[in-house]
Amino acid sequence: MALIVQKFGGSSVADAARVRNVAGIITDTYKKGNNVVVVVSAQGDTTDDLIEKAREISANPSKREMDMLLTSGEQISISLLAMAIAELGYPVISLLGWQAGFNTNSSYGSARIREIKTERLEKELDQKKIVIVAGFQGLNKYDDLTTLGRGGSDTSAVALAAALHADRCQIFTDVTGVFTADPRKVENTQKLADITYDEMLEFATLGAQVLNNRSVEMAKKYNVELEVLSSLVREPGTIVREVAKMEKMLIRGVTKDSDIARISVVGMKDIPGNAFKMFSRLAQKNINIDVILQSVGRDGTKDISFTCAAGYADEAVEILNDIFAMEGAVVSSDTSVAKVSIVGAGMQSHSGTASKMFGALYEAGINIGMISTSEITISVLIDKESADKAVSAVHKAFFG
Ligand code: ADP
Ligand code: ASP
Ligand code: MG
């Protein structure tokens, strides 16, 4: 008998018919003699709708109250799913995050899981119940509800699979696996049979939202093999694991992130320590920075630009003005940019990957603003307006 963790995203439980469909998948797994623990997200666009409701009341609600609000979405879906499974005649119980033992730190809106106390879960499993757990949420040391950040149910599922030493962790969604690019936006995408943790982590971090990047990080840490598959079409999905079998591929995929800003500091003094001052102050405020470009110094001054998540742009500008305005530098932010990236371990052993990417962009008439590379990624900064065209052009160059 195996223990299987199955996670269903918002679109998989969007309405009554979808909830019944998911109940069918779960009970089919249970019928085969498996223990089944299920993690669900809020139905459809519920989380977005709740955020909108908050905006109607307050421009700047407290993060604690936001989490109090947002956790309600998953409470609806777990209870409805449990009812649907009970209708089919199977023993089932729904649990909120805290009932399932999810303890987190206190970072409302982006909490980290500290520990999962699995006693209650195990007791229910011992009684042969299917256990439905609310994803995306936990409880902090003040007994307050927290959420794990958008897309956090993936992380809830992986964490549960690790804590329970599950035999399998299946992430059900509205596409049949991880593709070479977003199959809803790009033509002729191919489904990957498998992908390594490192590649998937980069892919997710650089914009492929099919898996939340923290869930992949956790899967790698605890060696949880993930399967990404569809709740609507029953066919094998994509396996995320340490070593991928499809090693021939030069790159695994193309992705974009349009939710970024370019911050520029123009005319700072060309002296040692300025870059350090700049990035250490940003790090203190937990602002993650990405692509960095420094100009060649001239007339005793230099310029530094970098990218960060668009949501942090105003704060970054404020911090940098604080440091550099006195010396006459001009700080600005620009959110009309997007980052397009290719990901794949295969590029390590192949020269010409970058030139192939840049050639495709050139032929599509797209200008590159900044470039950054790692061992398994190449990213370029371009105009946001051209992002979709760029992804398609680069995808076509690599995958035909
Ligand atoms: P869920 O609600 O199940 O968590 P998400 O919307 O978070 O689903 O993630 C699934 C979506 O991810 C797909 O509908 C697809 O449009 C998008 N996506 C982006 N990039 C990729 C990719 N490379 N492969 C598969 N899906 C992708
Ligand atoms: N419902 C949450 C969100 O929309 C969590 C999730 O879907 O994973 O972000
Ligand atoms: Mg998701």
How much distance in Å is there from the Cα of 158 to the middle of ligand 2?
A: 14
Per-residue model confidence (pLDDT) at position 186: 97
DSSP annotation of 143: S
CA 262, 284, 146, 162 dihedral sign is: positive
How much distance in Å is there from the Cα of 275 to the middle of ligand 2?
A: 36
Per-residue model confidence (pLDDT) at position 220: 98
Per-residue model confidence (pLDDT) at position 350: 85
Q: Which ligand is nearest to the CA of 174?
A: 1
Q: Which ligand is nearest to the CA of 212?
A: 3
Residue nearest (by alpha carbon) to ligand 1 atom 2: 9
CA–CA gap between residue 271 and residue 149 (Å, rounded)? 39
Per-residue model confidence (pLDDT) at position 245: 79
How much distance in Å is there from the Cα of 90 to the middle of ligand 2?
A: 27
- Nearest ligand 2 atom to the CA of 212 is 8
Per-residue model confidence (pLDDT) at position 247: 64
Q: Is 44 in the pocket of ligand 2 (CB under 6 A)?
A: no
How much distance in Å is there from the Cα of 172 to the middle of ligand 3?
A: 10
Residue nearest (by alpha carbon) to ligand 2 atom 4: 47
Residue nearest (by alpha carbon) to ligand 2 atom 7: 151
- Nearest ligand 1 atom to the CA of 171 is 3
Q: Where are the beta strands (DSSP E) in 159-288?
A: 168-173, 194-196, 226-230, 238-241, 253-257, 260-269
Per-residue model confidence (pLDDT) at position 380: 96
For residue 38, the tally of other CB atoms under 10 A from its CB is: 30
- Nearest ligand 2 atom to the CA of 136 is 5
Top mutation candidate among 40, 173, 211, 254 for ligand 1, by most atoms within 8 Å of CB: 173
* Amino acid identity at 57: I
Q: Which ligand is nearest to the CA of 135?
A: 2
Residue nearest (by alpha carbon) to ligand 1 atom 21: 182
Question: Where do runs of H (alpha helix) occur along the chain?
Answer: 16-31, 46-57, 63-87, 119-126, 153-163, 197-205, 213-221, 274-284, 313-324, 353-363, 387-399
Phi, psi (deg, nearest 5) at residue 344: 165, 135
Residues in the 5 Å CB sphere of ion ligand 3: 9, 151
Residues 6 or more apart whose CB falls under 8 angstroms from that of 152 comprise 135, 136, 137, 212, 214
Residue nearest (by alpha carbon) to ligand 1 atom 11: 210
Render each residue's pLDDT in the chain as its tens digit; 400 residues.
899 999 999 999 999 999 999 999 999 999 999 999 999 999 999 999 999 999 999 999 999 999 999 999 999 999 999 999 999 999 999 999 999 999 999 999 999 999 999 999 999 999 999 999 999 999 999 999 999 999 999 999 999 999 999 999 999 999 999 999 999 999 999 999 999 999 999 999 999 999 999 999 999 999 999 999 999 999 999 999 998 876 678 899 999 999 999 999 999 999 999 899 999 999 998 899 988 999 888 889 999 999 999 999 999 999 999 999 888 899 999 999 999 999 999 998 888 999 999 999 999 999 999 999 999 999 999 999 999 999 999 999 999 8
Q: Is 150 in the pocket of ligand 2 (CB under 6 A)?
A: yes
How much distance in Å is there from the Cα of 208 to the middle of ligand 3?
A: 10
DSSP annotation of 168: E
Q: Which ligand is nearest to the CA of 156?
A: 2
How much distance in Å is there from the Cα of 257 to the middle of ligand 1?
A: 13
- Nearest ligand 2 atom to the CA of 9 is 7
How much distance in Å is there from the Cα of 132 to the middle of ligand 1?
A: 22
Binding-site residues, ligand 1, Cβ < 6 A: 9-12, 41, 151, 173-175, 178-179, 181-184, 208-210, 253
Per-residue model confidence (pLDDT) at position 283: 93
- Nearest ligand 1 atom to the CA of 10 is 2
What is the per-residue burial (b if ≥16 Cβ within 10 Å, else e) of 295-321?
A: eeeeeebbbbbbbbebebbeebbebbe
Residue nearest (by alpha carbon) to ligand 1 atom 25: 178
**pTM score, two decimals?**
0.95
How much distance in Å is there from the Cα of 58 to the middle of ligand 3?
A: 26
